[in-house]
Amino acid sequence: MSFTSKGFPMMLTFDLDCETMWTARDPDAHKRPILMSQGAYGWKRGVWRVMDVLKRHEITSTFFVPGQVVEAHPEVIEALLKDGHEIAHHSHTHRWIVTLTPEEEREEMELAQQAIIKATGEAPRGWRSPAAEVTDVTMDLIKEYGFSYSSNFFDDDAPYFLKVRGAPIDCVELPFRYINTDSPYFQFAKILPGRTITSPPQVVDTWSWEFDTLYAEDRMMVTAMHPEFIGQPSGAIVLDRFIQHIRKHDNVWIDRCDRISADMAAQMKADA
Ligand SMILES: [Zn+2]
């Protein structure tokens, strides 16, 4: 039985980190304009190409955007909303959560929350951590802010209600795994030793194999991509071909995380 009333859940999600991808690692990164320009590709070029691919396939999706990026690029947020995409919470500065004090964690949560409300007119429904870490404080904040879904953990191919300090809350976890993200294949920089760039067709194959297995098992799939990488010319072809592969299958629901997670929550409550 499917986890939703509309078929196999497929969520193509995007983290629009832009320059925060680098300033989160090193606060002095803004003094390195060429490094910063790798992030700028996201809002200047990548996100527009991603929007083109999604529009061609008539897909609405979720974009996790740091508050600083929301504030710096209102034209991007406006265009995403116009195409029917969802803006979700991805911290304010993208600083790595394990380096923050509890006060800083709260500030990260609140500043981005306000930036998104100001830009979109509504509170974000979902939250994704920068750099894949949480603390007990983070979990308390997810509960306090009333997010209806989170997409953070790597422990399953099925949705479940998130637990905070041992007790389940009304927030659907949408787990994913590194193999279904684009950064391990395409994030290359002089300051990240040991990284190489994967041949784009290999990524289409990898994600298609993941999809085929999950589809056959009637699980779910979440991909997490960055317009800085997947919005490059060959990346857009990866995205396009992966969507073409998905579309060869019946009974697949490709949509925004807020819509799919709401349907999942209703199903899980009905089954309980
Ligand atoms: Zn990110």
All structural domains of the chain with their residue ranges = 8-271
When mean pLDDT is compared across 22-26, 147-151, 223-227, 239-243, the lowest value belongs to: 22-26
Q: 242 near 204, Cβ under 8 Å? A: yes
CA 250 to centroid of ligand 1, rounded, Å: 32
* pLDDT tens-digit series, residues 106-134: 999 999 999 999 999 999 999 999 989 99
**Cα(232)–Cα(187) distance, rounded to whole angstroms?**
11
CA 1 to centroid of ligand 1, rounded, Å: 32
CA 21 to centroid of ligand 1, rounded, Å: 7
Is a pLDDT exceeding 80 seen at residue 1?
A: no
**What is the full DSSP assignment across 147-172?**
-SEE----S-SS-EEEEETTEEEEEE
Placement of tokens 């709401």 in the chain: 262
Architecture in CATH for domain 8-271: Alpha-Beta Barrel (3.20)
**How much of the chain exceeds pLDDT 70, in percent?**
100
CA 156, distance to chain mean position in Å, is 17
Q: How confident is the model at residue 152 (pLDDT cuts 50, 70, 90)?
A: very high
* pLDDT tens-digit series, residues 176-228: 999 999 999 999 998 888 899 999 999 999 999 999 999 999 999 999 999 99
β pairing state of 167-173 and 160-164? antiparallel
Mean pLDDT, range 5-17, rounded to an integer = 98
Q: How confident is the model at residue 27 (pLDDT cuts 50, 70, 90)?
A: confident
CA 130 to centroid of ligand 1, rounded, Å: 5
CA 69 to centroid of ligand 1, rounded, Å: 11
pLDDT at position 218 = 97
pLDDT at position 73 = 98
pLDDT at position 190 = 87
CA 5 to centroid of ligand 1, rounded, Å: 30
Q: Check residues 268 and 27 and name the one with the higher pLDDT.
A: 268
Instruction: Using alpha carbons, select from 44, 60, 53 the residue that is nearest to residue 237.
Output: 53
The contacts of residue 44 (CB under 8 Å, 6+ apart) are none
CA 6 to centroid of ligand 1, rounded, Å: 29
CA 204 to centroid of ligand 1, rounded, Å: 22
Is a pLDDT exceeding 90 seen at residue 256?
A: yes
Mean pLDDT, range 152-164, rounded to an integer = 98
**Cα(60)–Cα(127) distance, rounded to whole angstroms?**
18
Taking the CA of residue 138 as centre, how many other CA atoms within 13 Å lie in the half-sphere pointing to its CB?
Answer: 20
Instruction: Using alpha carbons, select from 261, 227, 255, 181 the residue that is nearest to residue 10.
Output: 255
**Cα(203)–Cα(209) distance, rounded to whole angstroms?**
10
Answer left, alpha or beta for residue 182, where phi above 0 means left and psi between -120 and 50 means alpha.
alpha
**Cα(127)–Cα(271) distance, rounded to whole angstroms?**
25
CA 92 to centroid of ligand 1, rounded, Å: 10
CA 20 to centroid of ligand 1, rounded, Å: 8
* pLDDT tens-digit series, residues 57-67: 999 999 999 99
The contacts of residue 33 (CB under 8 Å, 6+ apart) are none
Alpha helices in 121-232 (DSSP H): 136-145, 183-186, 200-216, 227-230
CA 90 to centroid of ligand 1, rounded, Å: 7
CA 98 to centroid of ligand 1, rounded, Å: 14
**Residues with Cβ–ion distance below 5 A, ligand 1:** 15, 17, 130
* pLDDT tens-digit series, residues 41-90: 999 999 999 999 999 999 999 999 999 999 999 999 999 999 999 999 99
**How much of the chain exceeds pLDDT 90, in percent?**
95
